[in-house]
Amino acid sequence: MIDVDIEQAAGDFLLRAKFATEAPVVGLFGRSGAGKTSLVNAIAGVTTPRRGHIRVDDVTLFDSAKRVDVPPRARRVGYVFQDALLFPHMSVEANLHYGLRLRPAASRYIEPRRVIDVLGLEALVDRKPGTLSGGERQRVAIGRALLAQPRLLLLDEPLASLDVPRRTEILDYVERLRDEFHVPIVYVSHSVPEITRLADTVVILSHGECLAVGDVDDVMGRLDLKPHTGRYEAGSVIETVVAGHDTAFALTTLRFPGGELTVPQVDAKIGERVRARVRARDISLATERPAGVSILNVLDARIVAFADETGPVVDLELAVGEARLIARVTRRSRVRLALRENQDVYALIKAVSFDQRSTGYA
């Protein structure tokens, strides 16, 4: 359980943050200046709130009413920054063991060998940080934080300085360490693909305020939050299970309460849970079931609501069984098709609109 209810001032900036969740991964999402780093600094003990409390499981890290303020080193909070901040004069192995030395043997539950194996660091242990790529340095930084035996891991935009291939690589490793070590993670990002792939609970921050807290598939698909989650990347998240693989055409079928999705082949076993992100701009609508089209995903849907729009496009919420999707059409199409609330329609989604960043293990 991560339980945060704080108020913190820094100059003219006031942060008010309140959320409580047992989710394995909490995503802090918001634009630059929203208060994400201020919040994780407070959790880590780098800064001190003026009121409130911070608790992880049954341990109180901060409580202004009870005058509790655990020093940063004693909080057992692993912190990974945008820049790896490794010790340049130490080898990778020495960097990894630095955090381990801070903990007495009785409190060590994560072994170096496990971390090296899971993060793929075996070939790097004798090298110095200056000889590593950006992605390799971040993997070492994550490993060092894990070997400090944390009760909570803070990842503050760890992919911000990496190119796209390295970002994908690190996301894969973050998923592996989540599943292997079961350490709660607070993941900070302004990237919709990262948050929807990794987070179970998402906290939307804007100008120091928590605008929304909830399951990632609920929050990231809300029409009213689109100004904060981003218009271009607006969309929805669906929790699915792998129903089958078509090896001849390298496709995978994902099943969810409401239908099935055909996507490019996913590296997962039958029955495994997979999270699929469907972007609003990738959905087309039809009032009659189409025939003779190349689109593989044709879903029965019902229009639930429209967003207020004054420009050329309009976003609308669709119910597809128990799932919710956000679709985007032009206002002219809305008028031409006479689209209205509670109308039954068909949602058309190209299989090729899904890519490696659109699916991930849930």
Tell me: pLDDT of 3 over 80: yes
Q: How many Cα atoms within 13 Å fall on the side-chain side of residue 162?
A: 24
Separation of alpha carbons 238 and 233, rounded Å: 15
pLDDT at 231: 64
CATH 3.30.70.270 fits 2-220, yes or no: no
**Percent of the chain whose pLDDT exceeds 70:** 96
Mean pLDDT of 94-101: 85
φ/ψ of 338, rounded to 5, equals 55, 45
Q: How many CB atoms lie within 10 A of CB 357?
A: 17
Mean pLDDT of 204-210: 94
pLDDT-derived band at 233 (thresholds 50, 70, 90) equals low
What's the first-to-final CA gap in the chain, in angstroms? 19
Angle CA(198)–CA(358)–CA(282) in degrees, nearest 5?
Answer: 135
Residue type at position 301: A
Instruction: Confirm whether 2-220 and 235-361 share one CATH topology.
Output: no
The domain made up of 235-361 has a fold known as: OB fold (Dihydrolipoamide Acetyltransferase, E2P) (2.40.50)
The predicted-structure confidence for 36-57, as pLDDT tens digits, reads as follows 999 999 999 999 999 999 999 9
Give me the residue spans of the domains in the chain.
2-220, 235-361
User: How far is the CA of 57 from the CAs of 3, 39, 69, in angstroms?
Assistant: 8, 18, 16
Residue type at position 289: R
Tell me: pLDDT of 357 over 50: no
The predicted-structure confidence for 107-134, as pLDDT tens digits, reads as follows 778 888 888 998 899 999 999 999 998 8
b/e map of 133-157 (b: 16 or more CB within 10 Å)? ebbbbbbbbbbbbbbbbbbbbbbbb
Least confidently predicted of 48-62, 68-82, 328-342: 68-82
pLDDT at 362: 37
Mean pLDDT of 255-260: 94
pTM assigned to the model: 0.81
Task: Report the interhelical angle of 134-147 vs 92-101 (nearest 10°).
Answer: 20
Mean pLDDT of 196-200: 88
